[in-house]
Amino acid sequence: MTTPAPLNPPRRILMGPGPSDVHPRVLAALGAPTVGHLDPYFIQVMNETQSMLRHVFRTANELTLAVSGTGSAGMETCVVNLIEPGDRMVVCVNGVFGGRMADVAGRAGAQVTTIERPFGEVFSADQIAEVVRRVQPKVLGIVHAETSTGAWQPLEEISRIVHDAGALLLADTVTSLGGVPVEVDGWQLDAVYSGTQKCLSCPPGLSPVTFSPRAVAAIEKRKAKIASWYLDMTLVKNYWGQDRAYHHTAPINMNYGLHEALRLVLEEGLEVRIARHKRNHLALKAGLNAIGLNYAVAEGIQLPMLNAVLIPSGVDDVTVRKQLLAEFGIEIGGGLGPMKGKTWRIGLMGETSSPRNVLLLLAALERCLTDQGATVQPGAGVAAANAFYRQA
């Protein structure tokens, strides 16, 4: 066998649905010396990471930690710990990741009831109230920021409805955490999971999760064993808690990376970071509108970190994305499900969310659209974005 060449990844600007660009300090942390998973130094890192995660989640939940796995592992963690075979669970499906949650719940043995909205729409409080009243579930699962569509689901009123019915609320915040407000305690969310590779700007590999005291009590009252040994919080919490009982060998260096990424969030300030995401979203939106691109999601529910825009008639989705990557080093995402070939998903997450990237993408996209034969007023997108930045 011929030895492969050394790794030499191309430099990209990651403006798709994730992962996002990674700060050099996070990359440096990933390369720090590895220690043992029970080494006193690593235990200190774990303690500090938990504290910072509580701050970002806006919670005092004791059971808050980073699952060793990507965001989908966090989803499975929340589901399998709360669901016993035969439990009723309602899952709200308005995109790919709501559908995935329903699949995970079914595999865990839940009696799953799904309610659906078209891709790009969100659920009303009345819809949630009706299904909760009819099904009387143990758990209702919903996606806060649907990465596949760019839709932003309000949770506050839904949380009240779910709790008034005696159920638990499980929320997917993979894309929202660190980019828009996520108020775990303020909204009384019971089980919440996220990912490192979106607005936290750490490479994929860990999934922050947090469980409310209500959720912990439900886990402790279980009669059946949790279906997954690896994701069993009754075991994992003893590793992340004071006992430090061995459960698995944690990905040491990934935890270093998350630790540094969270430090960057705290240094910037969570509120300032959220405002930055909104500001760059609005500048991008002004520029896209100026070159004739409209959003696929209604006003008021558009995610600032995941901009889903409609592809103009006569413009080929894949050709534009390939040109952006080959000529400008910019990655954007295509649509999923019924939005495939109809939308682009433009990410402004974490480290990627900057005026530089907004202006560069608008200029590059103008060139790509012109090459496709679209009529674009030269420089209109960049001018509109700059006008927004000046007034903002």
- Are 28 and 154 in the same domain? yes
Residue type present at position 74: G
Residue 110 covered by a domain? yes
User: Does residue 11 form part of some domain?
Assistant: no
HSE at residue 127, side-chain half, CA atoms within 13 A, is 18
- Per-residue pLDDT averaged across 61-71, rounded? 97
Burial class (CB in 10 A: 0-12, 13-18, 19+), 176: buried
- The verdict on 284 and 249 lying in the same domain is no
Per-residue model confidence (pLDDT) at position 139: 98
Is residue 14 very low, low, confident or very high in pLDDT (cuts 50, 70, 90)?
A: very high
* Residues spanned by the domain of 214: 23-267
What gap in Å lies between CA 373 and CA 232, rounded to an integer?
55
pLDDT at 299 over 90: yes
- Tell whether 229 and 284 lie within a shared domain: no
* Residue 192 to residue 140: CA distance in whole angstroms: 12
CATH of the domain at 293: 3.90.1150.10
Return the DSSP state at 180.
B
The alpha carbons of the chain give a radius of gyration, in whole angstroms, of: 21
How buried is residue 3: exposed, middle or buried, by Cβ count under 10 Å (0-12/13-18/19+)?
exposed
Pair of tokens at residue 92? 């709200």
pLDDT 10s digits, 89-141: 999 999 999 999 999 999 999 999 999 999 999 999 999 999 999 999 999 99
Q: Within a domain: residue 4?
A: no
Q: 277 and 262 share a domain?
A: no
Q: Tokens for 306, please give them.
A: 């995941």
Question: What's phi and psi for 182, nearest 5 deg?
Answer: -130, 105
Mean pLDDT, to the nearest integer, of 50-65?
98
Is 71 inside any structural domain?
yes
CA 261 remoteness from chain centre:
15
Q: What average pLDDT does the structure give for the chain?
A: 97
The reply to whether 240 and 274 lie within a common domain is: no
Q: Verify that 289 and 256 share a domain, yes or no.
A: no
What DSSP string runs through 139-165?
EEEEESEETTTTEE---HHHHHHHHHT
Residue at which a domain ends, from 245, 267, 289: 267
Regarding whether 294 and 232 lie in a shared domain, the answer is no
Band (pLDDT 50/70/90 cuts) for residue 242 is confident
- Letter string b/e over residues 336-359, b meaning 16 or more CB atoms within 10 A of that residue's CB: beebeeebbbbbbbbbbbebebbb
Taking the C-alpha atoms of residue 250 and residue 248, their distance in angstroms, rounded to an integer, is: 6
What would the mean pLDDT of 284-301 be, rounded to a whole number?
A: 97
Answer yes or no: is 7 within a domain: no
Cβ distance 203 to 196 under 8 Å? yes
Please give the share of the chain, as a percent, with pLDDT higher than 90: 98
Residue 27's CATH number: 3.40.640.10
Is 96 found in the same domain as 188? yes
- Report the 10 Å Cβ neighbour count for 175: 30
End position of a domain, from candidates 267, 287, 322? 267
Host H or E run for residue 215: helix 213-220
Give the least confident one: 195-199, 223-227, 240-244: 240-244
From 251, 267, 283, the end of a domain falls on 267
Does residue 243 register a pLDDT over 90? no
Question: Does one domain contain both 258 and 371?
Answer: no
Torsion-angle region of 269 (φ positive above 0: left; ψ -120 to 50: alpha; else: beta): left
Q: How many domains does the chain have?
A: 2
pLDDT tens profile 345-384: 999 999 999 999 999 999 999 999 999 999 999 999 999 9
Amino acid type, 136: Q
Tell me the per-residue pLDDT of 29-44, one tens digit each, with 9 for 90 and over.
999 999 999 999 999 9
171 bridge partner residues: 142, 192
Evaluate whether residue 15 is within a structural domain: no
The per-residue pLDDT for 392 is 86
How confident is the model over 161-171, as a mean pLDDT? 98
Q: Are residues 240 and 297 both part of a single domain?
A: no
Domain-embedded: residue 2: no
Predicted pLDDT at 342: 97
Asked if residue 308 and residue 261 are part of one domain, the reply reads no
Asked whether the beta carbons of 150 and 302 are under 8 A apart, the reply is yes
Measured CA to CA, the distance from residue 51 to residue 265 in angstroms comes to 13
